[in-house]
Structure 1
Amino acid sequence: MRRRRLKRALIGAFAACAVLADAGAAAAQAAASNEQVAITTPPAGSEAWTHDHSLGTDLPDPATADATTVAAFFASLGAAQQDRLVQAYPLVVGNLDGAPLQLRYRANRLALLDEVARAKAVAADPKVDATTHALAVSRANDCQALLRPGRQILAFDPRGRGLVTEVFGDLATAQRVSVIVPGSDTDLGHHDRADDPLRSPAGMARALQAKEQQLAPDTSTAVIAWTGYVTPVGLGPDAATARLAQAGAPRLYRLLEGLKQTSAPAAPPTLVCHSYGTVVCGTVAPLLHGPTTDMVVLGSPGMGVQNADELGTGVHLWATRNPSDWIGDVPYVEVGGLGHGADPTGSDFGAEQISSAGAAGHVGYFAPGTTSLFNFAAIALGDYQAVVYRNG
């Protein structure tokens, strides 16, 4: 009974802090929303793909094949064979880590076109209710925006709220690569927000790459906006547990393994993890081996550990939180699966504490002129001597 009361209190604390500090009635409503369904299975078309022997060989199983196997398989095919697979299985090829970048971009364009057509057909159906109609119109518009010239969609999955991964820069030739790992309330519809771009993964990625290019114009960079896992909605029970992070971490790991096959930066990609995304990064950290990965956590509710040593030896951890970020009012505890452990910005956590001077609130870290954005770019570029540390 005491543990149940404590769990209820923790959930209430997470939601109440959000309501009082930032989000008002909207957060209170979100806190009462249903739990989200994680996406952990391969995309549509995978079953038909695994039964397709038309090339005279088994196709790599999207559920089990590693990136090395996938890369070797595509390298064994001719251009016509690759094109046939893209045309027949756009969602499979477009989400297959280790497949050639240009093939994935082409495949995801086809998948997006299919989703636009599907959504428009639903919206045009006079039998659907107003809510279904509005959702279909929104989905068609979101997908249409991703089809604009110059956009490079590395992954797209229309299931649920929709997942998308977008590349800014030339990933194939980039000397430095970064991955934005976002927090709650990010999905296909919120991947690129025109009204408030720095709240969205795409806007964060654009800001980071622009800063990198300003600081090192002769260095080729790429930034990946990874809206690639099902995130919590609001600050209810999903945000207070690691369930969705644990489902998302293998997807992030596969992305990183695929990049080893399809890109060749001078160092492993830097992970820039925001809010609940820091829980995902904390979950994936022990899986990272080899050359050290820079991991930057900002606005973190905790990483699911009590100190940086628990993340393993594969990461170099940097942390920041500005004084006006309401996340600092969330309880930094973990009891019975609720909460995310110690504060990464604590003096005894073991992360390098960097400045976020000029940043305001929970989503202001990528704003122009902030020390936080400068620091993220300097770390991603490997210019550690330029990093501005937090005072005190």
Structure 2
Amino acid sequence: MVPLSGAARPTIPAPTPAVLGKVTATTLEDAYAANRANAEQASRMADAHGDRARAATDRAIAAPSRHFLTFDGRGAGRTAEVLGDLAHADRVAVLVPGSDTSLDTYARFRATATHLWTELNRQTAKSTAPGTAPRTAVVAWLGYETPATVSFTVATSGRAEQAAPQLRDFIRRLRGIAGEKAQLSLLCHSYGSVVCGRAAAGLDVDDIALVGSPGTGADTAAGLRTRARVWAARGLDDWVGEVPHVKADLFGTTVGFGTDPVSPSFGARVFAAGDGGHSDYFAPGSVSLTNLARIVLGATSEVTRA
């Protein structure tokens, strides 16, 4: 089922983001604290504005147990939340969301990250001896203004082109925190795969997984110009499979994203995603989540192929 986006809402007042400077492993906790304080201020401003839903979201983000590398409560919102010990992680997964993701729907996106984090812990506990498990972290990156699912914008690359430099910069800064030895994976859902496709060239990541992808804008995986392993999957009940995978010029604007990433001609490593729908790739116990965790952990020989 294709979700319908809500009508435009009035601008909600929020403070400018906290000024953090260069964040390193040793200053990470200071960055978390600064963003919590900023979110608490945003909550008070939203509450005074009469938007109790946004105030509640901001207040939850400000909780002592939450860890945000970035937080911007203005407009639709921009965030990057960390689950796990990023400063000491051996394996880091960065989730890039698709359409209709904002602070107003953030709980849904965070649940996705939480499910992956739980599965990573399950697999490492099951397959390794105590004390030898790789240390993992998950980053839920909402670093761009996502398009509405039902809109002309979602069929064009404009938002992805705006987002790509932000994602590249974020990965560079993430490397400065996690270190060069950490293995980084990009897990890109739906329109997020268009963002990843635009950002991929030369990006310092080890794996890029495209799930529920309408296309990347590239004709082949090689066309992404990345050293990363490129993976792709689609659930049997995902409506994106019915979307024409073409690119066409419409009044001077390119519509569509080209080759289907799960097609043999694209050349990705296609893995099994089970019979789930467009929103089910990170569902607990699903085939797709199991395989995504294996990709993040580098257990590539255990990934079940479609």
When the two structures are superposed, what TM-score results if normalisation uses the length of structure 1?
0.70
Separation in structure 2 between the aligned mates of residue 247 and residue 103 of structure 1, nearest angstrom? 29
Aligned pairs for 1:103-182 within 5 A = 103-123=30-50, 136-182=51-97
Structure 2 gap segments, 5+ residues each: 9-13, 126-132
SS of the equivalent of 1:340 reads coil
Structure 1 gap segments, 5+ residues each: 1-21, 35-42, 46-89, 124-135, 193-199
Deviation at 1:163, TM superposition (A): 1.4
Separation in structure 2 between the aligned mates of residue 161 and residue 102 of structure 1, nearest angstrom? 25
Contact 1:173 1:265 in 2 (8 A): no
SS of the equivalent of 1:191 reads helix
Deviation at 1:201, TM superposition (A): 2.3
What is the number of equivalent residue pairs in this alignment? 289
Aligned pairs for 1:289-368 within 5 A = 289=204, 293-336=206-249, 337-357=254-274, 359-368=275-284
SS of the equivalent of 1:287 reads coil
Partner of 1:201: 109
Deviation at 1:219, TM superposition (A): 1.9
Partner of 2:122: 214
Contact 2:79 2:142 in 1 (8 A): yes
Partner of 2:140: 225
| Amino acid corresponding to residue 115 of structure 1 in structure 2 | A
User: Which of 209, 229, 239 is the equivalent residue of 2:154?
Assistant: 239
Separation in structure 2 between the aligned mates of residue 256 and residue 300 of structure 1, nearest angstrom? 21
| Amino acid corresponding to residue 387 of structure 1 in structure 2 | V
Deviation at 1:97, TM superposition (A): 5.8
Deviation at 1:328, TM superposition (A): 0.7
Deviations 1:198-246 (A, max 9, x none): xx32111111111111111322110001111100012211100111111
Separation in structure 1 between the aligned mates of residue 63 and residue 23 of structure 2, nearest angstrom? 25
Contact 1:279 1:303 in 2 (8 A): yes
When the two structures are superposed, what TM-score results if normalisation uses the length of structure 2?
0.89
| Amino acid corresponding to residue 155 of structure 2 in structure 1 | A
Deviation at 1:315, TM superposition (A): 2.0
**Using a 3 Å threshold, how does the CA distance of structure 1 residues 389 and 265 change in structure 2: closer, same or farther?**
farther
SS of the equivalent of 1:92 reads coil
Separation in structure 2 between the aligned mates of residue 284 and residue 332 of structure 1, nearest angstrom? 20
SS of the equivalent of 2:186 reads strand
Point out the structure with the larger helix share. Answer: 1
SS of the equivalent of 2:88 reads coil
SS of the equivalent of 1:269 reads strand
Point out the structure with the larger strand share. Answer: 2
Deviation at 1:322, TM superposition (A): 1.1
**Using a 3 Å threshold, how does the CA distance of structure 1 residues 313 and 154 change in structure 2: closer, same or farther?**
closer
Two-structure CA RMSD over aligned residues (Å): 2.0
| Amino acid corresponding to residue 37 of structure 2 in structure 1 | L
| Amino acid corresponding to residue 172 of structure 1 in structure 2 | A
Deviation at 1:165, TM superposition (A): 1.2
Q: Does residue 1:272 correspond to 2:187, yes or no?
A: yes
Q: Which moved more, 1:259-268 or 1:232-241?
A: 259-268
Separation in structure 1 between the aligned mates of residue 22 and residue 263 of structure 2, nearest angstrom? 36
| Amino acid corresponding to residue 291 of structure 2 in structure 1 | N
Q: Which moved more, 1:181-190 or 1:364-373?
A: 364-373
**Quick one: percent identity of the two aligned structures?**
38
Partner of 2:299: 383
Contact 2:272 2:288 in 1 (8 A): yes
Contact 2:15 2:41 in 1 (8 A): no
Deviations 1:222-274 (A, max 9, x none): 00011111000122111001111111111111111001111137443100000
Q: Which moved more, 1:257-266 or 1:201-210?
A: 257-266
| Amino acid corresponding to residue 211 of structure 2 in structure 1 | L
Deviations 1:64-101 (A, max 9, x none): xxxxxxxxxxxxxxxxxxxxxxxxxx6222xx564532
